Structure 1
């Protein structure tokens, strides 16, 4: 049985294909369209289904859309449509007074009509060059269409992917149909939601609002605010505690505010960052961590579970995650690596797959995120020849790349199946040695990034506790760890101003070539750590194809490109 999961709500549209409990493929549509987060000049692009991502998933399984049994869309419009619930179409314009008195956005009527009509669009809206894999399908099948509530999709992406048989579940994001935060319990193959927090109360929307106030792009740049927070002081923490009020039993309220009245004029994008901006970021981060820690501890007491699985965009805050790992009542915390809205395609597909097969057994767990496209040497070399580029083929790409890295060269690394989620994890990465402190600034210059942003380390799994305090298995770069003080001078480029690093661990089963590269670099330098940052520049999605990789390599000051079995170097 094939189940296709789709996210096209809000942003980060994506597709995932599951066969009988096994995830075959998952990828964001931005990797093909080259529009980061799917964000165009209008707030929503829900009328654009992720046709390119769907096409890839079908191609990976060597099937066509007519072979799919179920389609799961990670949004349930009936929760908002009132008397229109179940209607085949929605005619514009909708009159808010007829079913909801206060639209949260003037785009909501168009947004909802696009979602309800998604089955028709999937059947007939594919771009011309992709129509082959979409032929022979009507809007009513042959597959069954399922609308899956947004937060249930987040929840399922956590509890059905986590390495736990039983766990508590916490999801937090900007908004779903109504919920912004949900708490649940997964045991015996069954899931029960215990409680949810609804709009307008949302930790994610508060973080988005402050992200915009600080001159960054909301629903995209929240990680920049998290990084900036390390430079500030909790000057505004009392104010944020008045805005976000924890009420107990997992519940909180957010007071409506005018941000400029409270925090002063909004920063213009690209203008100077002041200490005041840093203090705002730090204060927000402190209160977020305090609030979520209280919520998590209540959830542990309520469920009695010792393991926690998390998803939702807020769960990509790796500093907050580390605080939960170290200070909450849970023994283990696991975060689904595509925790943002792209991951709801994964969750919707897994949920409907399990439901329709009526099977509580677990066949798959997410121990790596390499679920996207791969390109073989023949395809890569054909493009290099077509582009008339100089290159050399090597017998041992790990050895050749490690030698360049040991010489303090910065290389693009393009190997195997692409990562699903926002983090580059060794398939589409820019790599460098962490030994010289100036490498962090150099990489930010190469990628046209703000100079306050840290770069992250990847470390051999068996070596992590020798370099990072209480270092544990962390394959997805969703937690920070303190650098062991005695090792700080050996890897200064990856140590953030607060002494932490956002760590990725790697073992050979997850990505043999990437692991061998680190082993070889360690043999040459006695340092089993590399800088790993995403293979892209500011405003661009991570590279997907050989063409994307070569274009990024040629238009940036990268020293070399290791792509398949080939090395390209600049004079």
Structure 2
């Protein structure tokens, strides 16, 4: 038996365990109920043991800590003045772990863990790797607190070569050496906080709003902030490539700050969002083209928080000259635990990489709904047995909105058909009701989950199994599914392949009933909280949100507001 453990102690705390080629992985936020597992006021750099997710991984696999052969984690602590940062962080992290895991812990670069979380499950041979985020591991004492921002790799089986690294500018100042950081991750977040009011997820909301804007309005001004170098470098005007969102941004006759996000008219904010999205995408493409020239690789593995930009991802391969782009289910920081486990499995223990997955159901099962969990005003239907899936498809075909909790929990930020809210994609009024239920801005789109075999009839490009890229909806089909088509005619399509236990049978039944091989699929959570984990949490959330029904395993819960004589249920009986 071979066992490799990967851990992330920083932002998006998580654990991943590989046992004889089977992957178990989960994020700590699903137990704590705090998004990113970061209590209010806690600094992002605070180290936290992923205690619950680690315990679950070990227990689910039936593994004792003494049976773990390899333990790896991504280092990320900035360099203290005059200190040996790696040794200090290693000691602190090791002390958080139970024996003997702490004694076996080794650290690797944050960006290496990011890129391997994709490459070692991509099924690719030779690939370029690109990691872009706000910041990663320290670059070393010569650069003080400077950290990884943009990193390029040449990747082959058993081989990791770092070939491109964004570096800070070191500029003399009255207070000493000033470091000007060129972080595209910070740039995008910096701009998002000037566009999106507090209370909404800033980066994702700005990406959605960009579809409504005209990038020409601020194209020149925003373009001037990011300069492209011949060697694939980028330079961002200070301080907009850093976390400093207090410095005003003058554009035309208006000054943009965090306070302006709540008062500037939506149309103006959409124009700025469009300009930022365009400039950001152009910078990433510029770097990716450079990596294509350096490596000659036919494929790109893209990771880091910026790889959650699904609008960019949909055009990155073609724009940068690659045949394909692979993006892991969790390119954000939680995925570094998977990358660390895969590194231990492949590079440390010498086993072959895992095959490319078509699902990311690597987490815990939800359990069953007990009668004590039944919310007031809800009832549980008798066991429907083989009629369960047709009954659910019938409810959805009638425009009902339903919670869907099936099998192992997804790893990553997207609900992929295991902890989802589902609805008919062909009903605009259902989409509008769901926006109210989830308290979302009306400009944010919902994503379709579509049977992969039927996708070419509905979409012109390639989606992926993890909702990580947008693709254009065929113009002659868009009117049939208005609930999942964004303002620019695109959709972030999840391709559901054969064997997806969470969604494929239901999609088949819905297709037979309606002729539509897809469903609107969004995350099952309350506003401001992570995607839920258990059946009991699902029952509570279904009642709070005002859903029509909840399906857990083969158990169907119905709101009393939905009459028992609902025609869809009668037809399925």
What TM-score results when the alignment is normalised by the length of structure 2? 0.87
Structure 2 match to 1:474: 464
Structure 1 vs Structure 2 CA RMSD: 2.3
How far the C-alpha of 1:166 sits from its partner, in A, is 1.7
Deviation at 1:30, TM superposition (A): 0.4
Q: Do 1:289 and 1:323's aligned partners in 2 also have CA atoms closer than 8 Å? A: no
Q: Write the distance in 2 (CA, Å) between the matches of 1:534 and 1:479.
A: 16
Q: Secondary structure at the match of 2:404?
A: strand
Matches of residues 551-566 of structure 1 in structure 2 within 5 Å? Answer: 551-566=540-555
| Map 1:239-388 → 2, pairs under 5 A | 239-257=221-239, 258-262=247-251, 263-267=255-259, 274-359=266-351, 361-376=352-367, 379-381=368-370, 384=373
Q: Which residue of 2 aligns with 1:161?
A: 121
Cα distance, 1:355–1:301 mapped onto 2, change above 3 Å:
same
Deviation at 1:83, TM superposition (A): 4.4
Could you give the per-residue CA deviations for residues 264-292 of structure 1, whole angstroms, max 9, x where no partner exists?
A: 24346766752121111111000011111
| Alignment CA distance shift 1:320-1:86 (3 Å) | closer
Cα displacement (A) at 1:85: 1.9
Q: 1:171 aligns with which of 110, 123, 131?
A: 131
Counterparts of residues 3-152 of structure 1 (less than 5 Å): 3-9=4-10, 11-20=11-20, 22-39=21-38, 40-44=40-44, 46-75=46-75, 77=77, 80-81=79-80, 83-85=82-84, 116-123=91-98, 137=99, 140-141=102-103, 144-152=104-112
Match of 1:416 in 2: 407
Give a deviation string over 1:102-140, Cα, whole Å, max 9, x none: xxxxxxxxxx6xx741211223xxxxxxxxxxxxx2675
- Residue 100 of structure 1 is matched in structure 2 by none
Per-residue deviation at 1:86?
Answer: 6.9
2:456 corresponds to which residue? 465
Q: What SS is found at the alignment partner of 2:317?
A: helix
Assess, with a 3 A threshold, how the Cα gap between structure 1 residues 491 and 228 changes in structure 2: closer, same or farther: same
TM-score by length of 1: 0.87
- 1:319-367 superposed Cα distances (whole Å, 9 cap, x missing partner): 00112133220011111120000001111111122222134x3244333
**Structure 1 stretch displaced more, 206-215 or 269-278:** 269-278
Structure 1 residues 70 and 499, CA, compared in 2 at 3 Å: closer, same or farther?
A: same
Once the two structures are TM-superposed, the CA of residue 405 in structure 1 deviates from its matched residue by 0.2
1:523-543 superposed Cα distances (whole Å, 9 cap, x missing partner)? 111111110000012201101
Aligned to 1:538: 527
Distance of 2:265 and 2:544 partners within structure 1: 27
Identify which of 478, 487, 493 aligns with 1:497: 487
Asked if 1 retains the 8 angstrom alpha-carbon contact of 2:304 and 2:333, the reply is yes
Is contact 1:76–1:147 with CA below 8 Å preserved after alignment? Answer: no
Gapped runs of 5+ residues in structure 1? 90-111, 124-136
What is the aligned partner in structure 2 of residue 204 from structure 1? Answer: 185
Which consecutive unaligned segments of at least 5 residues does structure 2 have?
Answer: 138-146, 169-180, 240-246, 562-573
How many pairs does the alignment contain?
A: 524
Q: Deviations over 1:449-503 (max 9, x none)?
A: 1111111111110000101113x35111111111111111110111111111110
Which whole-Å CA distance do the structure 2 matches of 1:544 and 1:279 have between them? 38
